[in-house]
Amino acid sequence: MKIIYIFGIMVFLVSMGVLTKFTYKEFKEKIGERIWKFWDGRTTYWSLLIVISGFITFFLMLGFRNIFLS
């Protein structure tokens, strides 16, 4: 059972890292430097990133459930 949690955490962290690498600069430029300095710009970015990474983790865990449950 512990392998499921370890796999889930690893998938979540890797997906967050990959998404951050590909979207951070583009989102920051699109939203503007002034808004990015305020709380709203960064919070929106990180909230969306966490939700998307959570969905990626959920669907990968759903796809691999037969491997972990056997």
pLDDT at 57: 94
Q: Which domain holds residue 22?
A: 2-69
Question: What integer is the mean pLDDT of 19-30?
Answer: 89
pTM over the 0.85 mark: no
pLDDT at 12: 96
Looking at the 3D structure of the chain, how many domains does it have? 1
pLDDT at 17: 95
pLDDT at 47: 92
Question: Which CB contacts under 8 angstroms, 24+ apart, belong to 6-13?
Answer: 7/61, 7/64, 7/68, 8/57, 8/61, 11/56, 11/57, 11/60, 11/61, 12/53, 12/54, 12/56, 12/57
pLDDT in tens, 29-58: 888 878 878 877 888 889 999 999 999 999
